[in-house]
Structure 1
Amino acid sequence: MSRVVDYDVIVIGTGAAGLSAAALAAEGGANVLMVEAADRTGGSSALSGGVFYAAGTSLQREAGIAGDTAQAMFHYYMTLNQYKLEPALVRTFCERAAEAFEWLRGMGVGFTVENLYASGVDKVRRGHRATDGGAGIVAGLEGFLSDKNVDTVLGTRVERLLVEEGRVHGIVADGEPVRSAATVIATGGFGANPELLARLYPDAARHGDLHWYIGAPTCRGDGLGLAAQVEGQLSQINRGLLLITPGFVKDLESYLPGWLMMVNRAGRRFIDETIEYSVLAAVLDEQPGHDCFAIFDEASRLASRTTKYRPAPNWTADRLLDHVEAGTLVSAPTLDELAGKIGVPAARLATTAERYNALVQAGEDRDYFKPSAMLRPVSQGPFYAAHIRPAVICWTGTGIRIDTEARVLGADDRPVPGLYAAGETTGGMFGQCYAAGGASIGNAVVFGRIAGANAAKER
C-alpha cells in the first residue's frame, strides 16, 4: 500500500467468512477494503469440499425432506459435543444457516439434490455440497462482490491494528496506516504455523512429521495475534479437526474403506469401521497410543476398489501393493507374523479375527453393528496392516472469542469497540468431535454475514 486510504470497513482475509463480511458490509452502504495475505482470494475455503451444513432449506424440501428445523439441528450439534461449546453461538449458527444457504444459492452457487447427504453422524441430510466445491462458493461470492464498492489488496499481511482510546480504528499494513470505522478479522486458522499448533493444538503435533495441513499455507494465525493486541480472548485450546491417515501419501482421503477390521494396540476391535471420520478421530484419541491398525486379507485386497460415495483411491488392489513395496503397508503370510510385525498380542489378534469372521459368517455385526454389506472375512493370507493415525490437520478450532453479533470479546468480557471476527479464526463453535461436514463453511458464511452487517452500521 502506497498511501493512506480511509474506508468504512476493513476485512482482513478473503475466505468464505471474509468475502461474506465484505458482501454484507457493502450491501449495508459501506465502502470496504479487503486485505489478503495470499496472491488470490479464497483462502482455505476455496480448497475445501464446499459443503454447507443447514436445516430447513429449499434443497431439503426439493429432496422431500420436510420438517427439519434449526432446533433439531441445535439439539444434535450440542448433544454430540456434550454441550461443551458456547450454546449461544451454536444456536445462532443453526437459526441462521438456512438463510445464509439461500443467499448463496440465490447468487448462483450450484447445489443439487444429488449432492445433499447426511454429513453428520445422524441420519438427516443436512450436508449441502456445492457443485463446484469450495471453489464454487468462493466464485459465487466473488461474482456477487464484482459490482460492489469493495477494494481488494492481495499479497499483504496486516501488521497490527490501529487502536485509539480502546477502540479499533483500522490497520497498519506495509508500514502504513489505513483507517476505518470498523474492522473484521477473518484470517482463517493457524494450521500452517507450527509454533501455534504446538501451543494451541497439541494433538496436532502428537505424531510428528506425519502431520500435514490441508488448508491454505497463508493461514498462520495472524488474527489471533491481532486480537491479542487488544486483549481479545481465546476459546478453549486443543480444538480442531484431525483426519485419519494410513500415511500412504500426503493426499487427502477423508474415508477409509468400511470393510477393514480395525484393532487397537491391544489387538481388539473398538468401533464400527464405517463410522464418520470425525468420530473415528475422536475415538482414536482414547485408544492406547492414540492410533490403531486396519487389518485385511488377500481376498479383500483383490476386491478393493474406489467408489463414488466413499472414495479411497489409495486403497485399490494395485495401489495397496505399491504401499507394501514402499514400506507404508505391512504384509505377512500369517496373522501371527503380522501381529509380530505391528507389535500387537498375537493370541488376542487371532481371537479378534476368529470372532470377526464368525460375525461375517452370520451376516451380522453383533459387536459394533457395522452394516452387513461391509463385513468381509480376515482369513486368507497374506495379511495386511495399515497404521492409522489422526494426523491430517483439516482445520483449527481454537480461536478468538466472539459474541452472537460477531464482536470480539476483550479481557473484561465486553466487546472491543470497532472489532469483529468470523470464520476459522474464531472459537467456541467446535468441540472434540466435528458435528458434520459443512459446519465449518456454514459457520464462516453465517458469522461473516453477521460481522459485515454490524460493521457497516459503525460507519
Structure 2
Amino acid sequence: MSDEVRTYDLIVVGAGAAGLATAHRAADLGARVLVLEKADTPGGSAALSAGILWTAPDLDVLRRIQPDGDPELGSLVVKGYEQAVDDVRASGASVSDEWRDHLEWGRACKIDIARLFEVWAREIADSGDLLTNVSRVELRTEGDAVMGVRFRHRGECVEAYARGGVVLATGGFQGDPELRQSFIGFGADDIAVRSNPHSVGDGFRLGRSAGGAASRHLSAFYGHTLPSPLTVDARVFLRLTLYCSAYGIIVNRQGRRFTDESLGDEVSNQLLVRQPGHRAVLIWDDEVQRKRALAVPYPSGMALDRHAEATELGARTAAADSIEGLIGTVAGWGVDGAGLRRTLEAYRRASEGADVPLDAPLPLRPSPLATPPFRAVEIQPCITIPFGGLRVDGDSRVLDRSGQAVPGLFAAGADAGGAQDLRYVGGIVFGFVFGRRAAESALSSIATRA
C-alpha cells in the first residue's frame, strides 16, 4: 500500500535533456508537472557533453546521411532545430554563433547546457515537483491506458497520477550489459559506456510492460572511440575522443581495414564492436597530426595532443620515423604485422589511382602515410546512447505492435528509437524537439477529454 497519493497534469520519468525539455515545456503551458530522476542531480548524459546542439541543415542532407532512419522523426528534428535554439535563448542561457560545417555537413551551435538545465530545473520545481534519488518506478494503468506511476522516494512508497499521462525519458539502455548484448550483440556487454551510469533501460522496460513496441535500429548506437586500455570515465569522455580517426587508417587485429574512415569516428566506433577483441589500431602521419589531430574538432572544442596525453595516461601508443618501425611496434600489440603491411601498401597504391583490392572502401579523401613521423594508438569502442528504443510517432506517443498509440504513454530522447541508424545526426536536439512535442501532445489530450 502506498503511503501517499499525488495528482499532476504530467509525469516525466527522467531528468536529462529530454525529460527537462518535456517538463519545461509543460510548465510553460501552465501544467503542474512531476519529474522523477534516479540520480542525485538532474542533467543525465547531456550534462557531461560539450553542449553542442546540432543536426542536418536540411532534409536533403538528412536523407543522404541517414537514408534508413525514420523519415518522419528525422524531418521533425531538422524542422524543429530553430525552435530548440529559441527555447535555449529564452532561458537566458548563452548560445554561440552557428557554424555550418559540423562533421563537415551539419549545422550547430554551442549552448551553456549547465546554465540551461539550472534554469529549467528551477522553473519545473516552481510548477510542481522535481524529485531526485527516486527508485523502483512502476507504471500504473487502468485497462490499456497509462494513468500514473508508483515509486519510492526517501523511504516512502508514493503513487502519482497525471491527467495527461507519463513521458519516459530515462536516457536509453546503454548502461545495461544485458540489453547491450541482446540488441547490439558481438559481445557488446563488455564495451565501455561513455555516458552517465544511470541510463540502464528503465524507460524501455517500462514502455514494454505497458504494451509498447520496440523500434527499429536496436543494434545501432552512437559513441566514439577512445584510447585503449584506458578506463573510460567522465575525465576522458571529451578530452581523448579521437575525432581525427576520420583522417587516419584504422585496422583490426588481423591488420585489415574494416570501415571507410571518412564516414566519421562514430561509424568506425560501431563497426569496431564487430572486430576481434573489440580493439583496433588508428594510424596517421604527421600531416594529419598537424592539420587534424592538433586542431579543434569544432568551434569551442579542445585543441590538445591526444596522442601525447593518451601516452601519458598509459594507453598503447607508438611513434616512429618509418612505416616498418611503426609496424614492428604495433605487431607487439597482437596485430598481424604481415597483414598490416599488405593493408598499408594496398591503401597507398589505391590512393595513387591503382586498381587494387581493398578490405574496405577507399575514403573520398584518402590519407596515405606520406609524412613522418607516423603515429598509432590502440582504440576501443564506447557507447553513449542507443539508436533503438521504444517505437514512437511524431507526437512522441509510444506505439504498440499494431502501430496504435498506447493511451497515456509517451517517450522522448534516447528512450524513443528508430530515427537514426548507422550515422549520427544529433543527440541533445532529439531530446529538445521531441520533449517539447511530448509535452504538447500529452497536454492536448487533457483538453480533448475535457
Using the size of structure 1 for normalisation, the TM-score is: 0.78
- Rounded to whole Å, the distance in 2 between the matches of 1:224 and 1:270 is 32
1:128 maps to 109
- Rounded to whole Å, the distance in 2 between the matches of 1:9 and 1:261 is 50
Q: 2:62 aligns with which of 64, 71, 77?
A: 77
**Residue 75 of structure 1, CA deviation:** 2.6
Matches of residues 326-365 of structure 1 in structure 2 within 5 Å? 326=314, 328-329=316-317, 334-335=325-326, 337-338=328-329, 340-344=331-335, 346-347=337-338, 349-350=340-341
Q: 2:116 aligns with which of 129, 137, 151?
A: 137
Contact 2:9–2:33 (CA<8 Å) still a contact in 1? yes
Tell me whether 1:180 sits opposite 2:168 in the alignment: no
Tell me whether 1:189 sits opposite 2:167 in the alignment: no
- Rounded to whole Å, the distance in 2 between the matches of 1:419 and 1:270 is 41
1:223 maps to 203
Tell me whether 1:49 sits opposite 2:46 in the alignment: no
- Rounded to whole Å, the distance in 1 between the matches of 2:285 and 2:65 is 34
Write the deviation string for residues 61-118 of structure 1: whole angstroms up to 9, x where unpaired. xxxxxxx5xxxx22322332332x22111122222221122121222221112x6352
CA RMSD of aligned residues (A): 3.6
Tell me whether 1:163 sits opposite 2:145 in the alignment: no
Q: 2:82 aligns with which of 84, 98, 102?
A: 98
Tell me which amino acid in the other structure corresponds to 1:404: G
More off after superposition, 263-272 vs 393-402: 263-272
CA distance change for structure 1 residues 38 and 285 in 2, over 3 Å: closer, same or farther?
closer
Contact 2:285–2:369 (CA<8 Å) still a contact in 1? no
Contact 2:296–2:303 (CA<8 Å) still a contact in 1? no
**Residue 155 of structure 1, CA deviation:** 0.8
- Rounded to whole Å, the distance in 1 between the matches of 2:65 and 2:384 is 19
CA distance change for structure 1 residues 280 and 35 in 2, over 3 Å: closer, same or farther?
same
More off after superposition, 329-338 vs 162-171: 329-338
2:268 maps to 280
- Rounded to whole Å, the distance in 2 between the matches of 1:402 and 1:304 is 39
CA distance change for structure 1 residues 195 and 267 in 2, over 3 Å: closer, same or farther?
closer
Contact 2:326–2:376 (CA<8 Å) still a contact in 1? no
**Residue 267 of structure 1, CA deviation:** 3.9
Give the secondary structure class of the aligned counterpart of 2:137. Answer: strand
Give the secondary structure class of the aligned counterpart of 2:384. Answer: strand
- Rounded to whole Å, the distance in 1 between the matches of 2:352 and 2:40 is 57
1:198 maps to 181
Tell me which amino acid in the other structure corresponds to 1:107: S
Give the secondary structure class of the aligned counterpart of 1:417. Answer: strand
- Rounded to whole Å, the distance in 2 between the matches of 1:199 and 1:359 is 38
Give the secondary structure class of the aligned counterpart of 1:386. Answer: strand
CA distance change for structure 1 residues 12 and 343 in 2, over 3 Å: closer, same or farther?
closer
The percent of aligned pairs where both chains have the same amino acid is: 28
CA distance change for structure 1 residues 274 and 357 in 2, over 3 Å: closer, same or farther?
same
**Residue 336 of structure 1, CA deviation:** 5.5
- Rounded to whole Å, the distance in 2 between the matches of 1:305 and 1:445 is 31
CA distance change for structure 1 residues 167 and 312 in 2, over 3 Å: closer, same or farther?
same
Tell me which amino acid in the other structure corresponds to 1:157: S
Q: 1:242 aligns with which of 223, 229, 242?
A: 223
CA distance change for structure 1 residues 125 and 136 in 2, over 3 Å: closer, same or farther?
farther
**Residue 303 of structure 1, CA deviation:** 11
For structure 1, the residue ranges without an aligned partner over 5 or more in a row are 56-67
Q: 1:292 aligns with which of 280, 285, 291?
A: 280
Contact 2:24–2:124 (CA<8 Å) still a contact in 1? yes
**Residue 354 of structure 1, CA deviation:** 6.0
1:118 maps to 101
Using the size of structure 2 for normalisation, the TM-score is: 0.80
Write the deviation string for residues 258-314 of structure 1: whole angstroms up to 9, x where unpaired. 675444445456767565322333554677776532236899999998443374756
